Amino acid sequence: MDVFEAISSRRSIRRYKSKKVGKKKLMRIIEAGRLAPSATNRQPWHFIVVTDPVIKKKLGESYPKDWFVSAPVIIVACADPSNAWVRADGEEYWKVDVAIAMQNMVLCAKEEGLGTCWIANFDEKIVKEVLGIPSGIRVVAMTPLGYPDEVKGKVHDRKPLEEILHFEHW
């Protein structure tokens, strides 16, 4: 699938089939994340792949939506800020780095015929407790992963170019 087609046809999927995700597809998606660029190549990311129904259910307490837990896989994308690049003025880039890796995985999933949904509105404390994530590690985002059980998710409007695009200066 072409890059632009993947980008433009991808939707957030909030209904998943119970069909399992094959290991080959899953590992290709993880590889897409692993290959992401990052500030000074620090790669401050950790990916946790959750498929165990008991753990998934517990993880669901951090984001209590049935469709989230119903996906066969949940990918939890974490950052290790202690291993990430920081700009001279103190600006941190671990959120950016992990977001790049996650979007690589999300687009690769689309190519593999799999749905995803960026989740940000979770209770980070619960995620860390359930998955045994060390205190210094941050959870940046999660996504369910599985075969979509809807033709396409809700199409959200995007702002027109006039509102977001500037030529030469603001």
What is the footprint of a copy of itself within residues 148-167 (CB under 8 A)? 156-159, 161, 164-167
What CA–CA distances, in Å, run from 70 to 14, 64, 67, 90, 123?
A: 9, 11, 5, 40, 18
Q: Does 4 bind a copy of itself (CB under 8 A)?
A: yes
**Closest listed residue to residue 146, CA positions, set 39, 14, 5:** 14
Size of the site for a copy of itself (CB under 8 A): 75
Distance, CA of 111 to CA of 65 (rounded, Å): 25
Distance, CA of 64 to CA of 59 (rounded, Å): 9
User: Could you say which residues in the range 31-60 bind a copy of itself, by CB under 8 A?
Assistant: 31-32, 34-37, 39-41, 43, 45-52, 55
Q: Does 136 bind a copy of itself (CB under 8 A)?
A: no
Q: Does 126 bind a copy of itself (CB under 8 A)?
A: no
Q: Does 3 bind a copy of itself (CB under 8 A)?
A: yes
155 C-beta neighbours (distance < 10 Å), count: 8
Binding a copy of itself (rule: CB under 8 A), the pick from 23, 24, 162, 168 is 168
**Closest listed residue to residue 58, CA positions, set 121, 118, 132:** 132
**Residue placing its CB nearer to a copy of itself in the complex, 55 or 149:** 55
User: Could you say which residues in the range 75-104 bind a copy of itself, by CB under 8 A?
Assistant: 85, 87-89, 91, 93, 95-100, 102-104
